[in-house]
Amino acid sequence: MTLPVPTTHFTDPTVLVTLVGPDQSGVTTRLFEAVASFDVEVIDVEQLVVRGKLVLSALFTVPSDIAALEATVTEVAASFGLEVTVEHGTGDNRPRRVGRARVVILGVPLKPAAVAALAAQIKVLGGNIDRIIRMARYPVTAIRLEVSGADPDQLQAELAAVAFDHGIDIAVQENGILQHAQRLVVMDVDSTLIQGEVIEMIAAHAGYEAEVAAVTERAMRGEIDFAASLHQRVALLANVPVEALDTVYDELVYTPGARTMIRTLKRLGYRFALVSGGFTHLIDKMAAELEIDYHAANELEVVDGRLTGRIVGKVVDRAGKADALRRFAEHARIPVKNTVAIGDGANDLDMLAASGLGIAFNAKPTVRDQARTSVNVPYLDAIVYLLGITREEIEAADAAD
């Protein structure tokens, strides 16, 4: 099979036709039907509709009778009550510059000053915003910028500071074929997948909730070693009836958007894993309920129907979480660079760093500062916007089911 050879070059003259006005059926069809009578090639097309207003731009090679083309597109625009502009130039059909990235902005609310500051910083870094797409309008505003010409790592570092100043979240990912690949999503559980800390809920049955909560807070801030803190807290659970764990499970509250995120990404073939410093008695049930593919957690020792205050086996600590991510990725035959890790505490940092996309979710300041990406809205399904899925696509899939 012989492929056709392009007949246009980056320096050839082009003509840009732009129609603006009320959106209505048939505009695109009519424009291209009218232009079909001319000996031109289509170089690029962009169409956008915002609140019922259409912006349609089409880039063509220049015909032999440019005046006739202008008259034709003007007639098409007039038939729909649209405004039309026709611009001439050369080099407009060049490929986009190297260094392409997706920049996703999350805001509640998203203010114009924040967008202006981000756009200005992108320009300073040599980038150009090629396209802007709305990912969601509620419960958060999510906007995706397609950026070329700037290094993604530099964008991440510089734009994060701008985002912090304006109280919004930002995520930068390099564009490429891997963004379409199947992924493994690895989640922390306490204060990430669920609201609150399980060990504190169990401690309430022993009368030590306040004491355990104080140690948990220090461990999550990274002030004390997680494994040591876990042994210290579990010791306070001695003599709690094992039935209390079932009661705690019944009281668990999932983070808003958790089920939506899992349901949506599973439709696309994503795999899921729970990696928790919590306990197998509850994590096993959670994994079964949510149809999670892999999970790892700590096992509480039980003797004669009561907790002994000890842990069986090796603790799933900071290093253990990262090891579990790599192990599950290998089992799923998914490259580590195609993994997504979500967590909130200092014991999640190694896991976040090991993954392809590490997301600090409503994290402690020390964790947020070290993570590549932070999400500080209370909706776990905001994660899907970072992966290129829009709110409209989620709702359409749910409606179809």
Model pLDDT, residue 171: 92
The domain ranges of the chain are 13-90, 101-179, 184-370
- Helix (H/G/I), strand (E/B), else coil: 150: coil
Give the pLDDT of residue 181: 73
Q: Which fold has domain 184-370?
A: Rossmann fold (3.40.50)
**Which of 2.130.10.10, 3.40.50.300, 3.90.76.10, 3.30.70.260 is the CATH number of 13-90?**
3.30.70.260
- The set of catalytic residues is 188, 190
Please give the single-letter amino acid code of residue 329. Answer: A
Nearest Cα neighbor of 295 from 324, 252, 332, 335 is 324
> Is the pTM here over 0.85, yes or no?
no
Tokens 């009778």 appear where? Answer: 65
In this predicted structure, what is the pLDDT of residue 4? Answer: 54
Give the position of tokens 């220049």.
Answer: 62
* Cis bond upstream, residue 378 (ω within 30): no
Say if residues 59 and 14 touch (Cβ distance below 8 Å).
yes
Residue found by looking up tokens 């994660």 in the block: 383
Query: Residue type for 276, please?
Result: S
Within this chain, domains 13-90 and 101-179 share the same CATH topology:
yes
| Residue partners of 397: CB distance under 8 A and separation at least 6 | 264, 267
CATH class of 101-179: alpha beta
Mean pLDDT, 10 residues at a time, the chain of 401 residues: 53 89 92 92 87 91 93 95 90 56 92 93 92 90 92 91 93 78 91 92 85 82 81 88 93 96 94 94 96 95 93 91 97 94 93 94 89 91 92 90 79
What is residue 33's predicted lDDT score, i.e. its pLDDT? 93
Peptide bond into 139 cis (omega under 30): yes
Per the DSSP assignment, residues forming a β-bridge with 169 are 106
Backbone φ, ψ for residue 20 (5° rounding) = -135, 135
Give, as one character, the DSSP assignment of residue 332. H
Q: Are 236 and 307 in contact (CB under 8 A)?
A: no
Q: Is 172 helix (H, G, I), strand (E, B) or coil?
A: strand
Name the DSSP letter for residue 26. Answer: T
